[in-house]
Structure 1
Amino acid sequence: MSGAGEPALLERREGGVVVLTMNVPDKRNALVPEIREGLIEAFARLDEDRECRAIVLTGAGPAFCAGGDISNPGPFTGPQVRMLMKRPQRLLRAIAGHSKPVIAAVDGPAFGAGFALASACDFIAAGENASFCAAYGRIGVMPDIGLLWSLPLRVSMGVVREVVMFADVIKAPQAKAMGIVEWLAEGQTGLELAMERAQQLATKATAAIGATKALLVRAPLDIDTVLSQEMEAQAWLGATEDAQEGSRAFREKRKPEFKGY
């Protein structure tokens, strides 16, 4: 497990950026209950934290997250499987629906559940040694934790089929070329690159980013739904301090100083 006395999830802050580190390196940060529940709690708490402006999710040791927890291999009945899936699905919702931008900093493997966690984030920053694999088919199951929702938002359906049906290991440069990864680190780690981008996001209008995410997470939507929801969101955002500061800064021809609300 994690080092003696160390929690399975580490949390630290650098300015407005909160770094969540999955910390069970001897299991390659597989999604054990301690990591899963820690992440659910942390994302819920940070959703209400005004000092948190962006989140970076990463893994300790040589892997981002090597997959799901297989300490109890089953077999399971249908009802048992449904019950077991509820908590990982709650984690997916906590990441995808979060009001703050979330960046996955992937160094090493992101396989199975790890791939799904990274894909659920708004952005993926991959180190040169990062690799991805929808390994589910290798054990006779289909992708879960929302991968069949999140991956098609990143790449074409043809690429989705190739990734999930062949279950090949995809190295970082190929993942960037396919569109799975937004940013590929050169001469630095995925975490270092993710922190650079997160610090930039931490200076933006956080409420506006959250409102944008809330609409994007429901894509694809019909035009009437988009127009209705953007009207409601803009009406709310117009009253925020950041929107007023943005307007003042534009008029005064200066860079805005957003505070996150």
Structure 2
Amino acid sequence: MSTSEHVASDDIVYIEHQGAVAIVTLNYPKRRNAFSLRMRQALLKRLNQLMHRDPCRAIVLTGAAGTFCAGGDISEMQARTVLEYRERNQLPLDIFKLMVEGPKAIVAAVEGVAMGAGVSLAAASDYVVCASNARFACAFLKVGLMPDTGLFWSLSQRVGAAKARELMLTTQEFNGKEAARIGFANQQVEPGTALAAALKVAHEYALMPPLAIAHLKTALANGIDSLDEAIETEVNLQPLLRRSQDHVEATKAFMEKRPAVFVGN
């Protein structure tokens, strides 16, 4: 059963819960969920809440009205000072770091368009489900900008450096089928079913040991760029997990031939 925490139906980002999974919905349909300043502020607040103060075990990120996110709100792209731009750009970077480094897994459910920052939000997720007819484009150059919201790092992590360079430089549009073929999306589904498929994956993540998920995300984000870093990360983090209650529970459940019940300690 899904329970909603948002106060008003016009919240630009709202949260609902389905068991141990929190659903975060970008809700600015009149501009195809454009990544406006207000949306950035709300999304950062909601994600901080879910990552650090909410008992949910996994998160689904989706968009209202059959679309994901059309990218930056062009109506807000007006002349500002360099310092003002730097301040405004920090918000999406904070969101990106929270998505990548945060302790809970995020599954993106993409229907409709994911352009510019919409691509960035999907790429920063741990798992991407998209409709076969979803439309993606790294369209930053078309408005005289370079990719942002962490896409320099996240896109190459998903599709490789050469393909990431191609997508960013050509701004070519690709659909959900192509997204799955090149590895940008983990799963391609029929139109209208992305959220259901994403929830299924998120509920599977929610059954995993939370502490191990958190350490794994930390390692993937910061600790495997070189052989020595990978070894050091394993040496530092694995002993902590071996001493966790969840590890003890997992081994005990295995011996007793029953499902493990993880508590995050």
Find the residue that maps to 1:248 and give its secondary structure.
helix
* Alpha-carbon distance between aligned partners in 2 of 1:223 and 1:113, rounded to the nearest angstrom: 32
Structure 2 equivalent of residue 172 of structure 1:
176
* Alpha-carbon distance between aligned partners in 2 of 1:230 and 1:253, rounded to the nearest angstrom: 28
Q: Which piece of structure 1 moves more, 248-257 or 5-14?
A: 248-257
Structure 1 equivalent of residue 121 of structure 2:
117
Structure 2 equivalent of residue 56 of structure 1:
60
Q: Would the alpha carbon gap of residues 194 and 45 (structure 1) be closer, same or farther in structure 2, given more than 3 Å must change?
A: same
**Is 1:41 equivalent to 2:45 in the alignment?**
yes
1:37: Cα distance to partner?
1.3
Structure 2: 5+ residue runs without aligned partners? 1-7
The size of the alignment, in residue pairs, is 258
Q: Deviations over 1:221-258 (max 9, x none)?
A: 22222222222212222232211111112222333222
Structure 1 equivalent of residue 263 of structure 2:
259
Normalized against structure 1, the TM-score is what? 0.93
Normalized against structure 2, the TM-score is what? 0.92
**Is 1:217 equivalent to 2:221 in the alignment?**
yes
1:188: Cα distance to partner?
5.1
The answer on whether the counterparts of 2:111 and 2:191 sit within 8 Å (CA) in structure 1 is no
The answer on whether the counterparts of 1:58 and 1:104 sit within 8 Å (CA) in structure 2 is yes
**Is 1:193 equivalent to 2:197 in the alignment?**
yes
1:187: Cα distance to partner?
6.5
Structure 1 equivalent of residue 101 of structure 2:
97
Find the residue that maps to 1:71 and give its secondary structure.
helix
Find the residue that maps to 2:163 and give its secondary structure.
helix
Q: Would the alpha carbon gap of residues 5 and 249 (structure 1) be closer, same or farther in structure 2, given more than 3 Å must change?
A: closer
Q: Match for 1:107: what amino acid?
A: E
1:73-92 equivalent positions in 2, closer than 5 A: 73-92=77-96
The answer on whether the counterparts of 2:124 and 2:150 sit within 8 Å (CA) in structure 1 is yes
Find the residue that maps to 1:217 and give its secondary structure.
helix
Structure 1: 5+ residue runs without aligned partners? none
* Alpha-carbon distance between aligned partners in 2 of 1:220 and 1:242, rounded to the nearest angstrom: 24
- Indicate the RMSD between aligned Cα atoms, in angstroms: 1.7
* Alpha-carbon distance between aligned partners in 1 of 2:249 and 2:215, rounded to the nearest angstrom: 17
* Alpha-carbon distance between aligned partners in 1 of 2:30 and 2:58, rounded to the nearest angstrom: 28
Q: Match for 2:169: what amino acid?
A: M
Structure 2 equivalent of residue 24 of structure 1:
28
**Is 1:203 equivalent to 2:207 in the alignment?**
yes
Structure 2 equivalent of residue 235 of structure 1:
239
The answer on whether the counterparts of 1:124 and 1:183 sit within 8 Å (CA) in structure 2 is yes
Q: Deviations over 1:111-152 (max 9, x none)?
A: 001110110111111012311110011112110111010011
Equivalent of 2:10 in 2, 6, 10: 6
**Is 1:247 equivalent to 2:243 in the alignment?**
no
Structure 2 equivalent of residue 138 of structure 1:
142
Q: Deviations over 1:189-237 (max 9, x none)?
A: 1111100111111111111011011010126422222222222212222
1:33: Cα distance to partner?
2.3
1:107: Cα distance to partner?
0.6
Q: Would the alpha carbon gap of residues 121 and 260 (structure 1) be closer, same or farther in structure 2, given more than 3 Å must change?
A: same
* Alpha-carbon distance between aligned partners in 2 of 1:247 and 1:65, rounded to the nearest angstrom: 42
* Alpha-carbon distance between aligned partners in 1 of 2:54 and 2:14, rounded to the nearest angstrom: 20
Structure 1 equivalent of residue 188 of structure 2:
184
Find the residue that maps to 2:142 and give its secondary structure.
helix
